[in-house]
Amino acid sequence: MNAPDKNKFFIKNTAARLGFDYCGIAKAVRLDDDAVRLENWLSKNMNGAMHYMENYFDLRVDPTKLVPGARSVITLLKNYFPSEHQKEASPKISRYAYGKDYHYVIREKLNEFLAVIREEIGEVAGRGFVDSAPVLEKSWAERSGLGWVGKNGTLITKQNGSFFFIATLITDLDIDPDDPFAKDYCGTCTRCIDACPTNAILPGKVIDGSKCISYFTIELKEELIPEEMKGKFEGWMFGCDICQEVCPWNRFSKPHNEPEFTPIPEILDLTTQEWQAMTEETFRKLFKKSALSRSKWKGIQRNLRFISPE
């Protein structure tokens, strides 16, 4: 077994041992096609108030700008599909936010991954990323053979659907790459497009981020949500899972086995009235390490007012 093959075997085994559900490897190259798509998307202001999407353009499309001498991009998937459900009277919260903020959980695993690589192989340059840096992780996942990007913009695996966090390790380690995922299994299905209440999903796998419910309830920091969106959120207080809920491939989703993603009881149980009565101090205490902290107490209260009947 040559070095790239040996490295691949080691990487895949380490990923599984650290609790990742999928691991794929791609050669580190500049993403020229993605650069064109991203530029076009930004030119149409589909990032809305997410101005950070305009920053570090070269870093997003070229992994060697993030890790000089990069040779391989390792993509890791971590299942977050819960076995528990929110009560009917609870304002809807996206499933990814039920437990501890995934940034904490996965970043720790990525740091351990790099430490194990260096312990086993020697001095290796590498950086781990989880949705907090200019990395086009879904493109790398496709190139790594893990799945395809659906019409709703999510990465879909043929075996278990799309309820996965994506993490990326860029390294100068020479690893035998996997074959890219070549087929799109969405076919003629348009369920996600038809179900989106704000028409954020456009033909051609284009997502207008400035119209997405997740954008309004998480990313938008204004005091008021645009009035023309009134009545379109279908009870979603934080994030939105509609396009994933209607996706036929998610009938294959299976509950995760990550203790850190165990739902915070209040997320499952609190009614709209209980959320509205919550003090900022209580919110900070309960959701200190939750993804809900991104919206802060003020944002959650704004969202509640917006989705509540007059």
Task: Kindly list the catalytic residues.
Answer: 131
C-alpha–C-alpha distance, residues 71 and 69, integer Å: 6
C-alpha–C-alpha distance, residues 271 and 88, integer Å: 9
Residue 164's H or E segment, with its range, is strand 164-171
Distance of CA 226 to the CA centre of its chain: 25
Contact 275, 89 (CB under 8 A): no
- Give the helix ranges, DSSP H, for the chain: 3-17, 32-43, 57-61, 63-66, 102-121, 137-143, 191-195, 213-214, 242-245, 265-269, 272-277, 280-286, 296-307
C-alpha–C-alpha distance, residues 80 and 109, integer Å: 15
Contact 174, 221 (CB under 8 A): no
Assigned token pair, 89? 């009277």
- State the first-to-last Cα distance of the chain, in angstroms, to the nearest integer: 68
